[in-house]
Structure 1
Amino acid sequence: MTSDQQVAEEDVAAVTAQLGRTPRGVREVAHRCPCGLPAVVQTAPRLADGTPFPTLYYLTCSRLNSRIGGLEASGRMREMTERLAEDPELAAAYRRAHESYLAERDAIEPLGTGVSAGGMPERVKCLHVCVAHALAAGPGVNPFGDEALAELGEWWRAGPCAHP
């Protein structure tokens, strides 16, 4: 289940309950929901069998995942991608998010690729990745993750999304 770092058993149980399956390649909890459960985990750049896994930050909160799915279904990714072509400052900020993502992943283990995740930096392909990155890195790093989080509001208000 884990890579080169130890993850507490209660966190593994929580992530398993959130995902409905045992997580793979988890290095650490990268962000906790205000309810205390993991919301984002950092994963190893390669799975235990050597398979490349370029998604450094993986969103585990099932409630947040569902709410982001609603944004994706409403066409927000297409609108965000269109804005990249129209707004050079936004495009530059998104490119910096991509570069930050690559630098963090490569510091763990270089994959020899310029591919990050979620379509960065050319398009918004997956808001789940953008939000996971924004939660793990903090505000001001991934503009579309920050934007989606602001739009979603306090997803945690109803309490834990899972009961491990």
Structure 2
Amino acid sequence: MADTPTDADIEAVTRQLGRYPRGMVAVGRRCEVCGTPLVTVTRPLVEGRIPFPTTFYLCGTAAVRAASHVEAAGAMAAYTEMVQSDPTVRSAYHRAHRIYLAFRHELARRLGDTEEHIEGISAGGLPVRVKCLHALMAQSLAMGPGVNPIGDLVLERVADEFSPSVCHCDAA
């Protein structure tokens, strides 16, 4: 939560999402060129009462588009198969789930939010299947390489279309 969003960040994310980013408490990752938010950190309870389980929310337009292209290509089934059949990937994916839960728990503790509504649930299908590449890519962007193996693979796959070190923030 070290990167508290500014009014300009909230305006940028509002433009990206087409709506106000309810529950945004930090910027999880920025464009390395211009500083525009690519990932938000969202509290477990929005407005103090509405459950919101997606802690790391992918908001950068080019990043969202890139993840959508991979999903549309049907990659989630192949990634799920990888998680279920490769013991190394499965172990790393379970670890990503535990790290996600620990981060959200600390966030909830600091903010005074409760987590009963999402206890043991992270995002993106963790820890047993691949459901949302946006959430997995967001975790990799926010927490860095080596935390979520599937998020890392998606980032590698979309490198020609999206990279946090190449600014696409003004692209339509």
TM-score w.r.t. the length of structure 2 is: 0.87
Question: Does 1:133 find its partner at 2:136?
Answer: no
One-letter code of the match for 1:57? F
Corresponding residue for 2:47? 48
Shift of 1:7: 2.2
Q: Which residue of 2 aligns with 1:28?
A: 26
1:162, CA displacement in angstroms?
6.3
What is the TM-score normalised by the length of structure 1?
0.91
Q: Displacement, 1:48?
A: 0.6
Structure 2: 5+ residue stretches without partners:
109-113
CA distance in 2, matches of 1:68, 1:6: 25
Cα displacement string for residues 35-80 of structure 1 (whole angstroms, at most 9, x for unaligned residues): 3200001000101141111111000011110111010011111000
Query: What stretches of structure 1 move > 3 A for 4+ residues in a row?
Result: 156-159
The question of whether the paired residues in 2 share the 8 Å contact of 1:58 and 1:129 is answered with: yes
Q: 1:162 to 1:28 in 2, by over 3 A?
A: farther
Q: Which runs of 5+ in 1 are unaligned?
A: none
Does the CA contact (< 8 Å) of 1:62 and 1:161 recur in 2? no
* Cα distance in 1, alignment partners of residues 32 and 156 from structure 2: 15
Quote how far apart the aligned CAs of 1:6 are.
Answer: 4.9
Q: Which residue is 1:68 aligned to?
A: 67
SS in 2 for 1:41: strand
Match of 2:156 among 143, 150, 163: 150
| Cα distance, 1:16–1:25 mapped onto 2, change above 3 Å | same
Equivalent position of 1:160 in the other structure: 169
- Cα distance change of structure 1 residues 25 and 131 upon mapping to structure 2, 3 Å threshold: same
> In structure 2, the residue corresponding to 1:7 is in which secondary structure?
coil
